Structure 1
């Protein structure tokens, strides 16, 4: 039986099957509507190898033989469509798919807009158009104020474990719209990046193994609540980024795996499909229908939820065919290489599509590879992202900071090497959730030394991080010195704020954030060599670094001095490029932050004593394990 052509337009059929239906969610899935005077729901699904497709749900007793919805193929396109009169919002449903060999499967809707709370897995008929948005000012402003030369301080959040009163007692979206947003604003962050919110069956996958790409997870209440959360962020001046997983999907029976009885969303070659490291399946990026599905999903979150950008997960695993695969599963591309040509094409197309409709969006690659041009335009052969996570900087810095100060002099290059490539891409400096799980210890507990020294080292590290070129990202808990590593099944240890050093750490991070926001030199030149100058890069023996950050005018440079050793320097001379006075902006060793409180001048005057290739120099005290920032007031 053939479906009525009125259910799906010929243009949509053509565009979907050629990888160009960029808003496929408007056609596919379950849409409440009126057809020929009858109110009900239109169902559309892609299942080209199915012998039969039925819609079952609480409206027909979950009985595929009770055909309230007459699903039929639309021509020979592999797309099935039908209309269910009398079905309304809130109805639960699945697709009953009979494969070519007669096997029966029950599948959630790949385009379903809402899912049942796990462990239940049915899709729920939901309209996506009810919310009346109250963020017009934010949406208009972001179009005329692009992010590249603006400050960016991202607070990475796992909504379930930010605050939790008891196991599995999650804050809902609307609660978080007040508690989380108020906290983020008070700390001076500019953006929230949320770990994946697509529906997923296992809490402890953190959302990285999804089944419902178009459904905001029901763990935190109805999807309407997520819109309220995002809207409140925008009203308070906070951007929202979504951690988006387009590289792989989980194997649960109700999901995308063998969707119509055959490999559909995944590659037919198991060596290409399997992700053994994660127990998942890779999308087959060479199929145009899969491209339509994923490209539409990216735009869906921007269209329907007003998300400000996507952090694309695991890019390295997408573009390398043999990423973490055993020898028996290794393959080559049609040119004999190991790059995934289809994945590279997809990523370029993804960024071109997003920027076509949302040129102001943030598209960030979480990429640990050395693939060149990740943030270069596609017309120059790049992948077209506008930001890339600097995993090299992160790994080098954590290795250095974990080293006892007595032995850091031999590892000095770890903290300087990043400036050899800092301007080759547009970088974000990530201190993310991945660095504080699986036995890696929390940021605070990575630091060596005594209890006091751990805090001093972390304040020092954060000071260097904030003044190094690149936008910033910090995972929740890092701001107050969470001592245990992240526990995804429990809330952060907010009780630690009752202890002076932890509360002092929180205040230090807040003040560091606010200082960053208020001084253009710390972010205006993030992607240009002119924004950074070494003063003394070679003082490995004393574990000292000094450098200068410049704004566009270079009128108000900021000098950063970092002492990674346990030695105090009551008098330390540093070359500076300008005459006049220098004012102390921040000292991580202040007693108010839990430091030693070594006496520091508020201002110093530059002398005409050349040093470090500069025409002038200043003398300042430099406490052990500390960062100082000095502002030129010429």
Structure 2
């Protein structure tokens, strides 16, 4: 699904409703769903890796390379986070996807004369740069489920899908997930609904510097208190700062009785 979307449609024409309906297509049997964001054909038929599609053929000193890397890194994190948390109860993480391996991998087979030339991973990429940042984010993503058991908390309540603003938001247990896929527009004080009144703390932010982001969220953005206003069909709301191409996971840390 992600590959047809990335290859055929410009960023600003992505439809959030299509992303959501595709990722939750089989909600009737979520316990039987195995979800992933890698190109499964890369090791079978020599297809491009997920990162290769996102980053393209980037030369470090070429014009626009910094912007292209930022775009690719931002989307790599967001796509894995939404795929991981919006679907079923099992997530498959491909070896190489977690640190944005830039080249295809191909098993020895008849079509390549059983060559091992492409049957390898470039682990040296973890030493620095965007691949180290993506690996750091992936470890936090895995820790999120290990410590908070996100996937075992039932299916999410997807209450905000805005194709114009390119924002998706849903609640899963005490967690609020918000994604701004817009390539240029950031939103200050964006209203998203929540089910419980209280204080919400950002526990995972894809835009942090240590994950290759820009660090646009400041200290005052990390803890927000709900407003007694009905939004998205839910009794309360948060006003959140959403930089373009970023995602946030917030946890209800203090319940307020109103």
Asked if TM exceeds 0.5, the reply is yes
**2:170 corresponds to which residue?**
547
**2:187 corresponds to which residue?**
569
**1:560 corresponds to which residue?**
177
CA contact (8 A) 1:561 1:628 kept: yes
For the residue of structure 2 that corresponds to 1:497, the secondary structure is helix
**1:404 corresponds to which residue?**
10
Q: In 2 relative to 1, CA 543–400 (structure 1 residues): closer, same or farther, beyond 3 Å?
A: farther
Work out the CA distance in 1 between the residues paired with 2:36 and 2:214.
29
CA contact (8 A) 1:561 1:629 kept: yes
**2:87 corresponds to which residue?**
469
Equivalence map 1:81-96=2 (5 Å): none
Deviation at 1:418, TM superposition (A): 3.5
* Aligned partner (choices 423, 436, 442) of residue 28 of structure 2: 423
TM-score by length of 1: 0.34
Work out the CA distance in 2 between the residues paired with 1:405 and 1:430.
21
**2:160 corresponds to which residue?**
536
CA contact (8 A) 1:547 1:559 kept: yes
Whether 2:255 is the aligned partner of 1:632: answer no
Deviation at 1:541, TM superposition (A): 1.1
Higher Rg of the two aligned structures:
1
Unaligned runs of 5+ in 1: 1-395, 551-556
Deviation at 1:432, TM superposition (A): 5.3
**1:509 corresponds to which residue?**
138
Equivalence map 1:150-299=2 (5 Å): none
Name which structure has the greater RCO, CA cutoff 8 Å, separation 6+. Answer: 2
CA contact (8 A) 1:401 1:461 kept: no
**1:588 corresponds to which residue?**
206
Work out the CA distance in 2 between the residues paired with 1:483 and 1:543.
27
Work out the CA distance in 1 between the residues paired with 2:25 and 2:84.
18
Work out the CA distance in 2 between the residues paired with 1:472 and 1:523.
9
CA contact (8 A) 1:469 1:525 kept: no
Work out the CA distance in 2 between the residues paired with 1:418 and 1:504.
26
CA contact (8 A) 1:401 1:457 kept: no
For the residue of structure 1 that corresponds to 2:224, the secondary structure is strand
C-alpha distance after superposition, 1:20-77 (max 9, x if no partner): xxxxxxxxxxxxxxxxxxxxxxxxxxxxxxxxxxxxxxxxxxxxxxxxxxxxxxxxxx
**1:609 corresponds to which residue?**
229
Work out the CA distance in 2 between the residues paired with 1:478 and 1:558.
25
Deviation at 1:561, TM superposition (A): 0.5
Whether 2:218 is the aligned partner of 1:579: answer no
Over the aligned positions, Cα root-mean-square deviation in angstroms equals: 2.0
Work out the CA distance in 2 between the residues paired with 1:510 and 1:493.
18
For the residue of structure 2 that corresponds to 1:434, the secondary structure is coil
Deviation at 1:533, TM superposition (A): 0.4
Work out the CA distance in 1 between the residues paired with 2:46 and 2:167.
30
Deviation at 1:487, TM superposition (A): 3.6
